[in-house]
Amino acid sequence: MTVYACLDCGEKAASAAEHQCVHCGGMVGLPDGIMFDTEKIKPDLPGIWRFQESFGLPHASPVLTLGEGNTPLVPVKILDHELYLKLESCNPSGSYKDRLAAVLVSALAGSGVRSAVEDSSGNAGAAFAAYAALA
């Protein structure tokens, strides 16, 4: 389980939604860093959701997917170097922010949030609208 706490005084936070420590005013974060256990990869889940255990979501969070991730790698040659670029426009909303929106809206839904507002006129707004509609 992911533990959020004040990075200054160590006071545990009630949730990831707390950004400032109620005890000393310090910044809330992950005092133990981000943990990733390859044994917890779920190969039966689609796309990014294979790595769900590393997201630190509330246990009640649903898997909200429109097929984000798994975008193709396109080989290109630049200055005699072969590179592979992700074709992010192949995400469901056409945005490179679909992965973030899927996890964010899943976390909100798992926390009981039933309505939300996102302030963007671009990629974040398109992605958030798509996943909010799915939720």
Tell me the pLDDT tens digit for each residue of 47-96.
Answer: 999 999 888 888 889 999 999 988 999 999 999 999 999 999 999 999 99
Half-sphere exposure of 94 (CA within 13 A, CB side): 4
Q: Tokens 């992700």 correspond to what residue?
A: 86
Alpha-carbon distances of 28 from 21, 24, 107, rounded to whole Å: 6, 10, 18
Helix segments in the chain, DSSP class H = 98-110, 123-134
- On the 0-12 / 13-18 / 19+ scale of CB atoms within 10 A, 57 is buried
Q: How confident is the model at residue 36 (pLDDT cuts 50, 70, 90)?
A: confident
Answering whether pTM is above 0.75, one says: no
| Pair of tokens at residue 112 | 């009981």
